[in-house]
Structure 1
């Protein structure tokens, strides 16, 4: 008798529903309350957010936690060498932690939430909710720094005053946010530059050959892309290829241009204007200075090809 269908007969559908109900009930039983979305959106390095998640889930291997797994370790706090080492003690009750919170100007917030909550996960989420958005990164950094200091003292015998521990956390968050801003600014600059690039038709009866590259560092290769259009902008012919080797950007751009020179020559195309977006390559070819590097030898080949073709080339114009 199958008790999970109306007719008492087993079906794949009823079995599937029963299994899924068991999974959902098991999952809900292990869910912890808290604003998880806010935790994952704190403007702090990913490893600190990951640490916060582990702490909120009670996954940190503090000594009391290890003892509950039948691992033979002392129960005393590594940091202060007194008191039972659980999450609450490490981050709230430990005298060293209290000094760190005082230095970081979070002492009142920590104490208030500790009086209102009786478990570390609840304390953590309440503290994050009450902490201003601008203060959450530094608050998180102090927690992470306390855990880092605990591990460094345990494994390396490191000892340092609370203000240094706090400063290390604050500095890490500051440098990470600065790097994020520079990355965004760089992406915006590239986007603006790309928006301003305009392809212009070559004068009749010339053709224009545009060249670009792509680096594949993991595969130790470089890809070339070349396209030729007539004076009306109509597509004529194109080529893509991949060359094995480890090249820097300027070498790759120079190789792509040299390949384009040789390729259009093999097609017997005349009156070709070559256009590359590498200002370094253009300036170096036009320069009279001798370069004996690998890049210089490629540039020399480009110069020979250009002189033999009497074809000008330009950097991509902007407007």
Structure 2
């Protein structure tokens, strides 16, 4: 930490807990973590760093504890870069670094075991031959009526093609946001001039609504999605496990605090997102 008693980044009184948990820079990173994990951090009230960490060791399972420790380390590193080198990285970049680091740790651990149980590392699912793949997801802000939708496109071999994220104000219905994520996926397909692709999400209700005539809360949206889908040669709507939808999920969560209305990445992936998967 800096020699000053005031945080260089936000001006609040500085301490070890402020630097790692309470500073705006740290809060934005923790906002991308699981709510249950963040609740444990908030409930640990010890003023001594060692006692605080011991409380977490006693209350968190091994997987969450490892993730918390790596995240604390990553926040500390990002904070030092910002204060001493004036180099700032986005909360999403820090979050994705943590995921990648833990993934590599798990890979090393798996290599040392003999046919162990498959790890819980997010795994992208390739599309059928001849199709591209677009994963979509949505998230809502916990504090205000706003949300973010995201789409990530890859070819059949897992190579990055493009991504987009859009912020929307005044929406608080999760299902409507998921439907808007599908619409964003079709918009990204148009940006990339794709003709035949699979559009995947971890929300099964929207797919069911698309396959039926549904004029409910988001019925007009699904009708618009079906109309836009007819503009392409072939579009397959599929439901996938959340673990297989990690890129879109993380991009949506990381973008919900952005001031930009819509962001598009073509050929070069967003910070922290891998450019290709090993199939």
* TM-score bin (small chain): 0.3 to 0.5
User: TM-score scaled to structure 2, two decimals?
Assistant: 0.41
Higher relative contact order (CA 8 A, sep 6+): 2
